[in-house]
Amino acid sequence: MPINIAVITPQYKNDYLCDTILDGLLNLVTEDKSLNFKITSGYTTDLEVTKHILNIEQFEIYAATADLIFLCWGKNNTNKALAAKINRFEQTIFIDGSELGGNRRYNELVEIDTDYLTKAVAYFKREKPYLDEVRPLPFGIESHYIKYQPDQIKDIDFICVFGQKDFPSLRREVEWALIDFCQANNFSYWTKPTNTPDEFHRLLARAKVGVSVGGGGFDTARFWEILGNNCLLMTEKIDIYESDSKRLDYKRIWQFKDLAEFKAKLKQMGQYLRSSYQKSDLELEYNQIIKDHSSKARVLEILNLARVKKLIP
């Protein structure tokens, strides 16, 4: 029996979590011909969604009988007017990719949209707080992140590249500490910004260790790009899922709470690379991470909840 999903995308500027959902849907429809989705026009993305785009009139007709409606948050451009016009909130799942921005994540919690918490049949959220009715849904490993192949040579010891370094200051601090450490101990490293995402992902595929520090939110694309290329991951203390969650308990993830602990962990990581690192030892866990945290896995979480709620068969 076909399942039709109408995705109300942000009106103009893309959102990373929306892109993760679209990437997951693109992967799923290639595997399951009974699954279909359409999106609203005007959304800017590099994903190959052209054949899934409908103009506004066509989309409203499609959404009127769709099995599910995904309403994706966008910064100052969530298409709430269209969701209200369609007015099928009993089939609408709100996907909230909001973050506080700047350095505010250390002191505040992202607000829950209480209107959609009441209206929508389900609410998924990228950042805390999570309630019984609000379920975590961080970014995932999008298919275009993955440039790693099993025969890949890992010839870069450390990689540490951020899109912006102004907030939090820990981003600049760990980069400087990493450069000093690598130069003092003869490790190879890469910290220069790249010209394209593809270039960056190909560098990650060559790296043994990737460094991540969140930006405007605790969840950050860099975290998932590193995991998606079979790297060890050095990251600030994880605060992505619920505090008691075990979903990111992987041996490859080394956490630090501040700069001092990062420097201490660097020394330990250096010793590990010199004495124990074997890429082949990482393959089994890597395959499990891809299974559990791909963009496809994120969409399957949503669909599984929809089945529990008897919205789809």
CATH top-level class for 144-293? alpha beta
Taking the domains of the chain in order of start, what are their residue ranges?
3-140+294-308, 144-293
pTM (global) more than 0.95? yes
> What is the dotted CATH code of the domain comprising 3-140+294-308?
3.40.50.2000
Which residues, in sequence order, are CB contacts of 218 under 8 Å at separation 6+? 105, 127, 128, 238, 239, 240
- Judge if 3-140+294-308 and 144-293 fold alike in CATH terms: yes
Q: Per-residue pLDDT for the chain (313 aa), expressed as one digit of tens each? A: 899 999 999 999 999 999 999 999 999 999 999 999 999 999 999 999 999 999 999 999 999 999 999 999 999 999 999 999 999 999 999 999 999 988 898 888 899 999 999 999 999 999 999 988 999 999 999 999 999 999 999 999 999 999 999 899 999 999 999 999 999 999 999 999 999 999 999 999 999 999 999 999 999 999 999 999 999 999 999 999 998 999 999 999 999 999 999 999 999 999 999 999 999 999 999 999 999 999 999 999 999 999 999 999 9
Q: What are phi and psi of 297, to 5 degrees?
A: -65, -35
